[in-house]
Amino acid sequence: MAGELLMSISKDERERAIFRNRRIAMADKESNMITAVRNAKKLEALTIAQNALRKKISVDVIIDITGLTREEIEGLCDAD
C-alpha cells in the first residue's frame, strides 16, 4: 500500500510538490513548538530567579537552581 502510494506520488510532479510542502510545514510546526517550549522554560527560570533575588538568595545558588547565566540574573537586578 505505502509502496504503491510512493510510486504514484513519485510519478506526478504536482503530487511530489504537495508532499514536499506538507513535510516542510510539519517540520516548521515542530520547530515552532520546540521554540515555544524553550521560551516558556526560559521565562519560568527568569521568574524563579526574580523571586529568589527578592528573597535575597545568592546569585550562585540561583545559577545552580535555574541554569541561567550570571549575566542574565544580574540583568534582572538592573531591571528593578
pLDDT tens string, the chain, 80 residues long: the values are 566 766 666 677 887 788 889 999 999 999 999 999 999 999 999 999 999 999 999 999 999 999 999 999 999 986 65
Which domain does 63 fall in, by range? 2-79
Total number of domains in the chain = 1
Sign of the torsion angle spanned by Cα atoms 47, 48, 54, 56: negative
- C-alpha distances out from residue 58 to 7, 54, 55, 67, 68, Å: 63, 10, 9, 14, 13
The pLDDT value recorded for residue 6 is 65
Q: Which letter does DSSP use for residue 69 in this model?
A: -
Rounded to two decimals, the pTM is 0.68
